[in-house]
Amino acid sequence: MLTTRFVGGAPNWLEVGSPDLEGAVDFYRGLFGWGFRSAGPEAGGYGFFQLDGRTVAAGTRTAPDQGPPSWTAYFHSGDAQATAKAVEEAHGTVLTPPVDVLGQGHTAILADRAGVPFGIWQPGQLAGLDVFEVPGSLCWLELYSPDIAAAAGFFNAVLGWETSSVTYPDGIYTCVNPAGAGEGAMFGGLVPLADDPTEAGSDPYWLPYFEVTDTDATVARARELGGTVRMEPMDLPDVGRIAKLADPYGARFAVLKSAPPAPPTG
């Protein structure tokens, strides 16, 4: 599960980059009820999406040369410089070297061996997001990758991630958790890009999932707001009801109405 008791390698930040930040703010306000608070004039338009005063994500305006609109997941690092060096040693790429962010912490944008961008956040005054796993907040992450073994090896070397497997009727799902935290701290999965028909022709990428109270109603609302439904709602046994969407500018994400926990046995 995701938690604000951040440990090394755990997700601790999430942001969407959009060419039209005001439009993105309107979309996510209508979809999830998020408010938006600017980080101030010195932050270049950067700001925080909030629910009841708690930060659930961030948003920034991006230029065409910064890549397509997308969500970027960040992971906890105790030493941003050391993590960036580990990325290079593991044959990844440092896209933006570590930098101090107004005394709030240090960040860097990196890429794995397949070229998929991700961020790291070394906390200073700001530890990370304020809430997870409530409706309107991040509840899961998936990496769609052409080579699961290579991705698992890379992130084990860089962030210490451990993997475990869940068997389903149509295959095996690879889950990840922070080093030494156990399977109870699973926060995401690694998915073979070629195995998902929704992702046909897609480049590898990170997909954030947001918890919702009603998947079908959220999908209908996304359509009304100009979003795209990439995968219609479907039920996954013991997981919940999911759907894949994109905002009006093309940033991809998913929503999940989690299945209730199984009753205790014995």
In a domain, 131, yes or no: no
Is the pLDDT score of 19 beyond 70?
Answer: yes
pLDDT at res. 40? 81
The answer on 70 and 168 residing in a single domain is no
Question: Is residue 114 located within the same domain as residue 146?
Answer: no
Both 115 and 209 in a single domain? no
As a whole number, the mean pLDDT across the chain is 94
Phi-psi region of 171 (alpha: psi -120 to 50; beta: other; left: phi over 0): left
Among 123, 151, 176, the domain boundary falls at 123
Q: Is residue 158 part of a domain?
A: yes
Q: What percent of the chain has pLDDT over 70?
A: 98
pLDDT band at residue 215, thresholds of 50, 70 and 90?
very high
What CATH number is associated with residue 97? 3.10.180.10
pTM of the model: 0.95
Q: Would you say residue 130 lies in a domain? A: no
Give the pLDDT of residue 200. 79
Contact predicate 144/196, CB 8 Å = yes
Phi, psi of 83 (to 5 degrees): -65, -40
Q: What is the pLDDT of residues 105-151, one digit of tens each?
A: 999 999 999 999 999 999 999 999 999 999 999 999 999 999 999 99
Whether 252 and 146 map to the same domain: the answer is: yes
- Boundary residue ending a domain (123, 151, 185): 123
Residue 266 has pLDDT above 60, yes or no: no
The pLDDT confidence band at residue 44, using thresholds 50, 70 and 90, is confident
Same domain, 146 and 251: yes
Residues 242 and 145 in one domain: yes
Label residue 262 by pLDDT band (50, 70, 90): low
DSSP for 105-122, please give it.
EEEEEEE-TT--EEEEEE
Q: Are the CB atoms for 11 and 74 separated by under 8 Å? A: yes
> Is residue 27 domain-resident?
yes
Is the pLDDT assigned to residue 28 strictly greater than 70?
yes
Phi, psi of 165 (to 5 degrees): -115, 140
Asked, for residue 237, whether it belongs to a domain, the answer is: yes
Name which of 63-72, 96-105, 107-116, 256-265 the model is least confident about: 256-265
Those residues with Cβ within 8 angstroms of residue 211's Cβ, 6 or more apart along the chain or in another chain: 133, 134, 135, 136, 137, 138, 139, 255, 256, 257, 258
pLDDT of residue 232: 98
Q: Is 101 found in the same domain as 41?
A: yes
Its domain, for residue 115, covers 11-123
**Minimal CA–CA distance to 14: which of 203, 151, 206?**
206
Tens digit of each residue's pLDDT (9 = 90 or more) over 159-195: 999 999 988 777 889 999 999 888 889 999 999 998 8
The reported pLDDT for the residue numbered 5 is 87
Phi, psi of 2 (to 5 degrees): -85, 140
Tell me, what's the pLDDT at 166?
87
Residues 174 and 210 in one domain: yes
Nearest to 88 by CA among 65, 68, 69, 113: 113
Of 71, 92, 123, which marks where a domain is finished? 123
Whether residue 133 lies inside any domain: the answer is: no
- Residues sharing a CB contact under 8 Å with residue 33, sequence separation 6 or more, in sequence order: 51, 136
Is 42 part of any domain? yes
13, pLDDT greater than 90: yes
Q: What is the pLDDT of residue 195?
A: 85
Q: Would you state the pLDDT for residue 265?
A: 53
List, edge to edge, every strand of the sheet that includes 252-258.
Answer: 162-168, 171-177, 188-192, 138-145, 205-211, 252-258, 240-246, 228-236
* Concatenated DSSP letters of 129-146: -S--SSTTSEEEEEEEES
Q: How many domains does the chain have?
A: 2
**Token output for 254:** 């998913």
Structural domain contains residue 222? yes
How would residue 42 be classed by pLDDT, with cut points 50, 70 and 90? confident
Is residue 23 located within the same domain as residue 100? Answer: yes
